[in-house]
């Protein structure tokens, strides 16, 4: 059994990131499994090595140690893995499933995991060839008029993808209607999250993916890629989100709940203790180490409803 944590080094970790890391670590450790740290630095504009270094320092300080990966091991840093993504893209291209997309800016966000609250739109297939001469001519003209290289999209069939999330239960999504043809490589050459995450999880032997439930709706795209590439998919186990007082998923802008501030006020055991209580693993916010929590961990105790937390509840408790 192998679990993983796959953060994007685009800022200091906040309490929500730590919650995901902790539960993924506990799930792996309670099954006697390994836990990998993969650095998802696909977006050259937003990723910084110092954030990855800070992230590792925060994880070590919390006692969430990894068995493989991290920045010392270039194999686990996505920006070093272009050749591997290239080879898998070639496999998909050889199956005739991809096409160039000339739409401008449409692909900008592709390197980031599409968190539900970001409200992304389903691509309507503007550049998808439909086998007619007219469309082929139109696409040729578009290609000539396009000032930059095209992005590459994969064509999805109009079918339902069904799977069982280990925490949220049975799920069903229509690939064409709810996901649409999605980007594998951006126009500027950056690799898209969906392709990289699948290729990495499969090559790294990940058997269980634990992450926030705002990525639950990325599972159909990922299952489609596993199936098309001919690999078995890992188990997916999504988590309720930690939200701020207005009900929005905590993000890197929520300054008061990032690790810099938290480490000034609390010990590692105090932070783990608060998160353990939020996850219903304990009934009071009492200091406890990650190691001690392993024996108390049980997915059945973890709630499915999102959690609203205010800085007050954190700092005055």
28-47 residues near ligand GLU, rule: CB under 6 A: 40
Pick the binder of ligand GLU from 215, 219, 259, 290 (CB under 6 A): 215
What residues contact 155, with CB distance under 8 A and at least 6 apart? 97, 98, 99, 128, 181
Pick the binder of Zn ion from 84, 103, 229, 307 (CB under 5 A): 103
Is 3 a binder of ligand GLU (CB under 6 A)?
Answer: no
Pick the binder of ligand GLU from 29, 211, 213, 274 (CB under 6 A): 211
The residue (of 106 and 197) whose beta carbon lies closer to Zn ion is 106
Pick the binder of Zn ion from 126, 155, 174, 285 (CB under 5 A): 126
Min. distance of Cβ 35 from ligand GLU in angstroms? Answer: 13
Question: What residue 215 binds from ligand GLU, Zn ion, none (CB within 5 to 8 A, per partner kind)?
Answer: ligand GLU
The residue (of 40 and 107) whose beta carbon lies closer to ligand GLU is 40
Question: What residue 42 binds from Zn ion, ligand GLU, none (CB within 5 to 8 A, per partner kind)?
Answer: none
The residue (of 208 and 269) whose beta carbon lies closer to ligand GLU is 208
d(CA 41, CA 79): 6
Is 7 a binder of ligand GLU (CB under 6 A)?
Answer: yes
Vertex 164 angle, CA 158 and 170, to 5°: 80
Is 113 a binder of ligand GLU (CB under 6 A)?
Answer: yes
Residue 291 vs residues 7, 43, 161, 185, 265: alpha-carbon distances, Å: 21, 33, 37, 40, 21
| Piece of 107-115, 123-131, 205-213, 243-251 that binds Zn ion (CB under 5 A) | 123-131
| Piece of 6-14, 89-97, 116-124, 136-144 that binds ligand GLU (CB under 6 A) | 6-14
What residues contact 278, with CB distance under 8 A and at least 6 apart? 19, 242, 307, 309
Is 101 a binder of Zn ion (CB under 5 A)?
Answer: yes
Min. distance of Cβ 127 from Zn ion in angstroms? Answer: 3
What residues contact 228, with CB distance under 8 A and at least 6 apart? 92, 95, 97, 154
| x/- letters, 142..181, toward ligand GLU (CB under 6 A) | ----------------------------------------
Min. distance of Cβ 36 from ligand GLU in angstroms? Answer: 11
Question: What residue 103 binds from ligand GLU, Zn ion, none (CB within 5 to 8 A, per partner kind)?
Answer: Zn ion
Give the binding site for Zn ion (CB under 5 A). Answer: 101, 103, 126-127
Give the binding site for ligand GLU (CB under 6 A). Answer: 6-8, 40, 113, 197, 211, 215
């Amino acid at each position: 059994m192998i679990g993983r944590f796959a953060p994007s080094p685009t800022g200091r970790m906040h309490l929500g990131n730590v919650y995901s890391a902790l539960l993924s670590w506990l799930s792996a450790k309670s099954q006697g499994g390994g836990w990998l740290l993969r650095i998802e630095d696909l977006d050259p504009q937003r990723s910084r090595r110092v954030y990855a270094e800070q992230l590792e320092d925060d994880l070590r300080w919390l006692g969430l140690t990894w068995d493989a990966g991290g920045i010392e091991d270039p194999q686990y840093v996505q920006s070093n893995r272009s050749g591997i993504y290239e080879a898998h893209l070639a496999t998909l291209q050889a199956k005739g499933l991809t096409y160039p997309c000339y739409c401008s800016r449409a692909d900008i966000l592709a390197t980031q995991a599409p968190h539900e609250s970001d409200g992304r739109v389903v691509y309507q297939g503007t550049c998808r060839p439909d086998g007619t001469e007219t469309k082929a001519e139109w696409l040729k003209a578009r290609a000539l008029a396009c000032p930059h290289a095209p992005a590459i999209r994969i064509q999805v069939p109009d079918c339902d993808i069904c799977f069982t999330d280990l925490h949220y239960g049975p799920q069903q999504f229509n690939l064409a209607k709810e996901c649409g043809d999605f980007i594998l490589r951006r126009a500027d050459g950056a690799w898209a999250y969906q392709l990289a995450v699948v290729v990495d999880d499969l090559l790294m032997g990940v058997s269980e993916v634990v992450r926030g439930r705002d990525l639950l709706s990325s599972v159909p795209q990922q299952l489609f890629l596993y199936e098309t590439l001919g690999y078995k998919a890992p188990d997916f186990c999504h988590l309720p989100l930690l939200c701020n007082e207005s009900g929005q998923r905590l993000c890197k802008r929520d300054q008061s709940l990032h690790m810099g501030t938290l480490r000034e006020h609390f010990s590692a055991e105090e932070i783990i203790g608060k998160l353990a209580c939020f996850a219903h693993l304990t009934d009071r916010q009492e200091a406890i180490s990650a190691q001690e929590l392993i024996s108390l961990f049980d997915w059945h105790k973890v709630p499915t409803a999102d959690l609203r937390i205010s800085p007050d509840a954190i700092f005055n408790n």
